[in-house]
Structure 1
Amino acid sequence: MTLLRHLARTALAAAAVAAGLSAAAAQALPPVPKAIQAAGVLRAGVRCDQPPYGYKDESGNFSGIETDMAIQIAAWAFGAPDKIELTCVTAENRIPQLMGKKVDILLATLGVTPERARVIDFSKPYRWGGSDMLVAKDSPIRKLDDVAGKTVVMLKGSTQAKWFEDNMPKVETLRLNTASDALQALKQGRGDAYTHDAATLVVVAAKDPSLRLVGESFAVTDAAAGLRKNDPEWLAYVDAALARMKAEGLYAKWVDKWVPADLRPFYADAFAKPKPTAR
């Protein structure tokens, strides 16, 4: 993916300044690790096709809640929100991008799983997220078990791909690289359902009357920032920054900024309430 510099004059960066640079309200953060300082910018991997968490708007600007989180960390670490380089990552390549030192942090709809924890470190979770399925409005699929014997579209390397392997191995799967490819496959009839993060699918369903959510949550996981292992100073800094975001009410502000009013309670709960139990 192309590495892009996000400029301070954009509305996104300006909002980050307004949200978090008040010295009077500042919550103390530990020192920025020397390796991060030496880079001169925060190199962050974000999603570019996952509204409202990370996506590009019609003008090609990086947008979304987790994108704002990355910009805010840069603002605190370097004193300016433009000290950031944002890289588009996918479910499949985000961890390789981190391990290959292309980025220093992932804020990329990254679910906490034991398999991933063997490879990378996670920050303390900042939200939870469940999975759901998107189907055609007239589909007979009404619950998760209805996909038995059918084809489910999903992203390579996703939480959903692992969940179906472990829990519904007889379901046929079509694994694609991007959310836009997966949605197109569903609309073309190449799959009977498309599974992904419920928070992403609810936005898609709200915009497209030909589709609907099945409405059965499964594979509920915490979401956290991803970092390379053996860097305790950077982990401590990120944890402190995330705690400050919560203390200053920034998550709620970003939900209001990026989420349509009728969907805000769904997202607000993910940041503010305990993770629910689900299949």
Structure 2
Amino acid sequence: MIHALKKAIGLIVSAAIFSAAVSAAGAEDNPLGLIEPGKLHVGTISDGRPYSFIDGEGNFVGFEIDYFNDLAKRMGFDEGQVVVTAQDFTALLPSVANGRFDVAFAAIGTTPERLKTVDFSTGYLAGFMSIMTPDESIQTPKDLAGKRIGVLQGSIQEAYAAKNFKNSEIVRFPSNNAAVVALVNGSISGYFLDYEGGLLFLKQYPQLKMTINISSFDAPAGFAIKKGNVALKAALDKAIKESMAEGVWQRLYEKWLPGVPMPEQYLPNR
């Protein structure tokens, strides 16, 4: 009986040691806690010009695509090890929280509500939220009263509009393209989006104007990562700091957002 008990205890201890060894080996092989060791699975949207979108040849391009590829390289990954998948904006953060993506980006503002479900890297985008409209009589938030105003579902603009545009009808859209089509067709009076993204639509639709601009520097965009993944956050934060210090962030910003003001804290020697 005692011999059997000792044998059982020995087996339990051996199993525990083996499990610990496997865990240690796993941590060593996958120090960033990725879904698939050696690859970064990334989620983004396909129509988020100029940040992340699919071009005429079916390739992901944009400021965030170029910038994340630079960060990934600094973290030891080549471009072929970054797997980018398109998804609706509203599904990005749940997909990170559920372990489908290691990282998500789409100019996603860091807010207290979002921090309840995911973590964010240090910020890398800050700008303005704007009303895009063909109606030049809309010049102040008060002029939105009684109007149908579109927002991207799950965006900072949606939360801001729900809180501050009390006298407007808020219409939620799954994508920027769907909202702009509705705006051009007259189904909504204005579309509330980020300023930089709106600039490209103005080139495509000259009848549209950006008439109201609201500061959003209190919720800078960051890369969303799974809650508690300290190693990945630290690696991203380090890479972001290096890229900004070396002027890479500035060069890519000037390439994709020419003429748009840049926050001083993101520039070299700051």
Gaps of 5+ in 2: 1-28
| Equivalent residue number for residue 118 of structure 1 | 116
| Equivalent residue number for residue 60 of structure 2 | 62
Q: Deviations over 1:180-214 (max 9, x none)?
A: 00000101111000111111012211332111101
Give the Å deviation of 1:172: 0.3
Q: 1:78 to 1:37 in 2, by over 3 A?
A: farther
- Is 2:191 the partner of 1:194? yes
Contact persistence 2:41–2:103 (CA under 8 A): yes
Contact persistence 1:160–1:219 (CA under 8 A): no
Structure 1 letter corresponding to 2:229: D
Contact persistence 2:128–2:215 (CA under 8 A): yes
| Distance in 2, Cα, partners of 1:32 & 1:233 | 10
| Equivalent residue number for residue 22 of structure 2 | none
- TM-score, structure 1 as length reference: 0.79
| Equivalent residue number for residue 268 of structure 1 | 262
| Distance in 2, Cα, partners of 1:79 & 1:157 | 30
| Equivalent residue number for residue 183 of structure 1 | 180
Mapping of residues 121-140 of structure 1, within 5 Å: 121-136=119-134, 138-140=135-137
Runs ≥4 in structure 1, deviation > 4 angstroms? none
| Distance in 2, Cα, partners of 1:182 & 1:122 | 27
Q: 1:184 to 1:271 in 2, by over 3 A?
A: farther
Q: 1:139 to 1:39 in 2, by over 3 A?
A: same
| Distance in 2, Cα, partners of 1:214 & 1:242 | 33
Contact persistence 1:44–1:105 (CA under 8 A): yes
Q: Deviations over 1:67-126 (max 9, x none)?
A: 112222332334422111001133311111111211101122110111101111111112
| Equivalent residue number for residue 17 of structure 1 | none
| Distance in 2, Cα, partners of 1:230 & 1:89 | 23
RMSD over aligned CA atoms reads 2.1
Mapping of residues 3-152 of structure 1, within 5 Å: 33-36=31-34, 38-136=36-134, 138-152=135-149
| Equivalent residue number for residue 253 of structure 1 | 251
| Equivalent residue number for residue 25 of structure 1 | none
Structure 2 letter corresponding to 1:39: P
Contact persistence 1:44–1:106 (CA under 8 A): yes
Q: 1:271 to 1:94 in 2, by over 3 A?
A: farther
| Distance in 1, Cα, partners of 2:67 & 2:265 | 13
Gaps of 5+ in 1: 1-30, 274-279
Contact persistence 1:32–1:77 (CA under 8 A): no
| Distance in 1, Cα, partners of 2:243 & 2:167 | 42
Q: Deviations over 1:139-169 (max 9, x none)?
A: 4212222111111011111111111111222
Contact persistence 1:133–1:194 (CA under 8 A): yes
Greater Rg by CA: 2
SS at match of 2:108: coil
Aligned mate of 2:214, from 213, 217, 223? 217
Q: 1:32 to 1:130 in 2, by over 3 A?
A: farther
